[in-house]
Structure 1
């Protein structure tokens, strides 16, 4: 299983980074995982800003040579792991900018004249690991699960990815946030992951 880990947090002293380290540790100890590649969007200096003009058109984004390495990573991966904080009820703008550019028509999906397009990333699976300052039930009770709906239905299902697992950890800045327990949960999940 080829695993692409996409880490999105500007601070390597953060809890998100600790979760990232546990993902890597678990993957390293899992014989079912052949290879792990890492994309740290902030460290990479990924430009999340969309630019469209007379020379750069949205319909050509799937073939943008500046994004070729990122397209190759996504095609290579059997499993894609996203690690990010929840800010204002959604992933960081850096990650959303990556999604806007990478999950483009002609690469991630193809229009076929019907109500929904054909997803071109079928057979892949995704794990989303997010953390937030607010309580764990905040997204469900206050935001009607907007984050999960955005990721599962508006993105992954649209491009053909049906298998999506969420770890959404709340109260992560609280002394009673059980951070070590949650870190260990992530480590164990990736250590024992089979598909």
Structure 2
């Protein structure tokens, strides 16, 4: 299983970076995972801003040469892991800008007759590892699970990815947030996951 980890946090001395390290450590010890690539969107200086004009059209994003490397990574991967904080109930703008540009028509999905398009990323699986300052149940109780609905239904199911797992860790700025247990949970999961 080839695994692409997409990390979205600007600080490498952070809890999010510690989660990235545990994902990588678990993947590297997992006999089912043959190869791992890490895409650090901030280190990469990924430009999340969409720009369209008479020379650059939205319908042509799927063949933009500046995005070819990232499309190749997504095509290569069997499993995609997103590691990011939840800010204002959703992933950071940097990650959303990546999604806007990479999950484009004629690469991630294709319009067809009927209500829903054909997902072109079928057969892949996704794990979302996210942290937040607020309580773990905050997205469920106050936001009607907006984060999970956005990621699972509005994005991943739309492009054909049906197997999606979430780790939403709350109270991450609290001294009683159980950070070490949560880091170990991530390591344990990635060291054993078979698909």
TM-score for both structures, normalised by structure 2: 1.00
Aligned-partner Cα distance in 1 for 2:161–2:179 = 30
Deviation at 1:113, TM superposition (A): 2.0
Matching residue of 2:113: 113
Matching residue of 1:151: 151
What do the CA deviations read for 1:144-193 (whole angstroms, capped 9, x no partner)? 00000000000000000000000000000001000000000000000011
Matching residue of 1:40: 40
Aligned CA-pair RMSD: 0.4
Deviation at 1:15, TM superposition (A): 0.7
Q: 1:85-100 maps to which residues of 2 (within 5 A)? A: 85-100=85-100
Matching residue of 1:54: 54
Matching residue of 2:23: 23
What do the CA deviations read for 1:43-84 (whole angstroms, capped 9, x no partner)? 000000000000000000000000000000000000000000
What do the CA deviations read for 1:63-109 (whole angstroms, capped 9, x no partner)? 00000000000000000000000001100000000000000000000
State the aligned residue count. Answer: 195
Equivalent residue of 1:88, what SS?
A: coil
Matching residue of 1:127: 127
TM-score for both structures, normalised by structure 1: 1.00
Deviation at 1:14, TM superposition (A): 1.1
Unaligned runs of 5+ in 2: none
Aligned-partner Cα distance in 2 for 1:160–1:14 = 33
Are 1:8 and 2:8 an aligned pair? yes
Unaligned runs of 5+ in 1: none
